[in-house]
Structure 1
C-alpha cells in the first residue's frame, strides 16, 4: 500500500530513515560525525516540520500496518547543476528485508506521477558515488547523470552524482 504520509507517521519515518541511512553510509562503522548527523537529522520533530511544509511531501509504503519504505519530495529545491527549482527526490529508502521486491520502483512511479500532476516536467536527485546499487536502479528508471555535487559531513566532502529525468 502506498499513501501520503501524515503526522502520525513522523516517528516511524525518522526511525526507518535512520536505519536505512546507517545501513548504506556507515559501512565502516559509527563515528561521532555519523552519530551527530543521524541524531540531529532523523527526528520526529524534523519529519513533522517537513510534513507541515507546503513544499515537502512523503509517500510511504506499508505492509501489514508497518512502514517498510518511503520517498520524499522537496518541491522548493534548487538543482545544483541546472540552478533551477524542480522537485528533488530527496530520499528513497526501503528497509533492507524488503529490497528487491519492486517497492522502490513503485514508490518512484507514484512520486513521478505526483510531480506530473502538479505540472512539473523534470525531477532530480543526488546519489553517493559509491552506492552502485542505487545508481543502477536510477539508471534503469531513465535517470541520467548531469553533474556532481558534495554531501558535507563534519567538514568531509563526499562525492555525489546529480541525476535528472524528464517526466513529460
Structure 2
C-alpha cells in the first residue's frame, strides 16, 4: 500500500470510492429517495469546494489496482462539546479489498497526526451506531463515546455516535 496526499485530479476516484463504499455498507438502510438525495450532495463541485478549503486535508491509500481508501480531516464541524482545541476525522472509507490490510490504521494515524500538527488536543468523529466493526476499531484506538448525533441521509435521521480521543 502506498500513502500520499490527494490532488485535485484524485477527486473523481475519491467520489467513486465514497459512493461505492457508502452504498455497500449503508445503502440497505434507506429509502431509495433518501439515499439518492444524500448522494446528490456529493457533486464534482462540492468535492472541489472541499478540496479548496485550506484547513481540509485528504490522504489516499493506493495499491496496484488504484485507490483503496481515503481519509479526510478538518477543523471541528460536528456539534461536539469540545473542551480543548479540536480536529475532526470527517471521513475514512475503504474499498472492500483494503479492509484488514492495515490501511485504516495508517489513515487514522495520519489523521491523528494532522490534528496534533494543527495544535488540536482532541480528535472527534461520528460513526453509525450499528457499524460495529468501525466502532471497535475506533475504541481500540482510544476513542470514547460522547453521545448521540443525528446524521441525516435525505429525510432519514441515523443515530450516529460522537466519539472523541484526547491527543
Which 10-residue stretch deviates more, 102-111 or 63-72? Answer: 63-72
CA separation in 2, counterparts of 1:37 and 1:83?
31
State the shift of 1:81 in Å.
3.4
Gaps of 5+ in 2: none
Task: Identify if the C-alpha distance between structure 1 residues 80 and 120 changes in structure 2 by more than 3 Å, giving closer, same or farther.
Answer: closer
User: Cα distance, 1:76 vs. partner?
Assistant: 4.5
1:120-159: per-residue Cα shift (whole Å, max 9, x none)?
1110000010111110110111100011110122332211
SS of structure 2 residue aligned to 1:27: helix
Listed one character per residue, the Cα deviations across residues 20-75 of structure 1 (whole Å, up to 9, x for unaligned) are: 1111111257611102211322x322111111111211111111371110010121
Matched, 1:7 2:27: no
The answer to whether the 8 A contact 1:127-1:160 is kept is yes
Cα 1:66–1:30, aligned 2, differ >3 Å: closer, same or farther? farther
**What is the Cα-based RMSD across aligned positions, in Å?**
1.8
TM-score, normalization by structure 2:
0.91
Write the mapping of 1:92-131 to structure 2, written as runs, cut at 5 A.
Answer: 92-131=92-131
Q: Indicate how the Cα distance of structure 1 residues 76 and 147 shifts in structure 2: closer, same or farther if over 3 A, else same.
A: closer
Instruction: List structure 1 segments (4+ residues) > 3 angstroms apart after TM superposition.
Output: 81-85
Q: What residue is the counterpart of 2:18 in the other structure?
A: 17
Count residues with an aligned counterpart: 166
